[in-house]
Amino acid sequence: MTRVFSGIQPSGDLHLGNHLGALVNWVAMQERAECVYCVVDLHAMTSPAEHDPATLRQRTLSAATTLLAVGVDPQRSILFVQSHVHEHAECTWLLNCIAGFGELRKMPQFKDKSAGKGESVSVGLFDYPVLQSADILLYHADEVPVGEDQRHHIELARDLGQRFNHRFAPDDPVFTLPRAIHPPAAARVMDLQEPSNKMSKSTSSDKGVVYLLDDPTRIAKKIRAAVTDSATDIRYDREAKPGVSNLLEILAAATGRSIDELVVEHDGHGYGSFKAAVAEAVVELLRPVQQRHAALAADPGEVSRTLADGAARAREVAAPTLLRAKQAMGMLDAGIVREGHGW
């Protein structure tokens, strides 16, 4: 059966970009694959200025609660917190020793996030994609449902997996080589106020970001205020009409209809009624998520139990993979050491 792995950072409230770019696929893939989903708290502390321990703890539980509300089903899939499975950190070290400085320095996300920070940038931020590779490779993932912004990170995981297999396990590959899966529309949802920037958890203003738990009035207000352009025609053109194109993608993804069909329906009727249609579709898409979230948030103990169970199941997959990787790299078998000491 196909194996799937994906992760999300608890670095802020989950938003429509996360949902349409990744989570819709997370949920759908449960129908046809063995899925492992992870709240990647270790990734969320790579920007020291934004790392507050109490906030991180609260956001980790909150992200897990939102994932369950979106439809991650812990009966069918594994849902866990990255730091609960120490194999991730250990496998990162192994992969660090085959990853190159040059390939990490070139990662677009590292370049963006380190810009202007000079020497103060954390080693964790630099190493971030290697930890992400370890996440994916430990679970033999064939497919990784993510938004477009993660494409280079998944390619790195593939490159490192291949390099490792070639060098240390040519006859019996340890790692499966993954590929990214993007949705047909909304693989890169843009900020509603600045449609040339990606919608992001760590944005300075939340006016351009629709959070999954925003109430319907707020959602409608943000979409009504979305930046468009001074013309009135509705057509898909990312360069000339980034705001309108973004709304078309959102509407297509939220309704499952094609962009062409939506253009025919809305062109000539002005931006007002078009934005109203987008708002209505998003409100309806998120309504069941918000209802389930209210029920789940009332019982955080149950969410924590689900995560503990998920971590135990995740380790059953991750630990043997790590052991094989260590053996392939020449680490002495721990059993031999124990015998030697008479334990």
Give yes or no for residue 78 binding ligand TYM (CB under 6 A).
no
In degrees rounded to 5, what are phi and psi of residue 85?
-120, 95
Q: Of 8, 250, 253, 263, which lies in the binding site for ligand TYM, with binding defined by CB under 6 A?
A: 8
- Amino acid, res. 208: G
For 274-297, b/e burial (b = at least 16 CB within 10 A) is bbebbbbbbbebbeebbebbeebb
State yes or no: residue 66 binds ligand TYM (CB under 6 A): no
If the CB atoms of residues 174 and 186 are measured against ligand TYM, the closer one turns out to be 186
Question: Judged by CB under 6 A, how many residues of this single chain contact ligand TYM?
Answer: 25
Give the position of tokens 């998120």: 286
List the catalytic residue out of 201, 222, 241, 275.
201
- Rounded to whole angstroms, the Cα distance separating 150 from 110 reads 12
The stretch among 100-108, 115-123, 132-140, 296-304 that binds ligand TYM (CB under 6 A) is 132-140
Q: Kindly report the length of the chain.
A: 343
- Among 24, 29, 33, 40, indicate the residue that binds ligand TYM (CB under 6 A): 40
Name residues whose C-beta falls within 8 Å of residue 178's C-beta, 6 or more positions apart in sequence. Answer: 5, 136, 137, 141, 142, 143, 144, 154, 157, 158, 161
Q: Which of 4, 29, 64, 199 binds ligand TYM (CB under 6 A)?
A: 199
- Residue 237 CB neighbours (<10 A): 12
- Told to check if 279 binds ligand TYM by CB under 6 A, we report no
Distance CA 192, CA 245 (A): 11
Rule CB under 6 A: say whether 64 interacts with ligand TYM. Answer: no
The span of 93-101, 143-151, 221-229, 254-262 binding ligand TYM (CB under 6 A) equals 143-151
Integer-rounded Cα Rg, in Å, for the chain is 21
Does 206 contact ligand TYM by CB under 6 A?
no
Which position among 113, 222, 241, 275 bears the catalytic label? Answer: 113
Catalytic-residue membership of 117: no
Handedness of CA 147, 149, 153, 158 (dihedral sign): positive
Q: Which of 78, 81, 107, 146 binds ligand TYM (CB under 6 A)?
A: 146
Closest by CA position to 291, among listed 112, 71, 90: 71
Q: Is 161 in the site for ligand TYM (CB under 6 A)?
A: no
Q: Per CB under 6 A, does 147 bind ligand TYM?
A: yes
Of the residues 106, 198, 221, 275, which is catalytic? 198
- The SS3 assignment for 93 reads helix
Note if 221 is an active site residue.
no
Q: Which residues bind ligand TYM (CB under 6 A)?
A: 5-9, 17-18, 21-22, 40, 43, 132, 135-136, 144, 146-147, 149-150, 153, 187-189, 198-199
The catalytic residue positions are 113, 198, 201
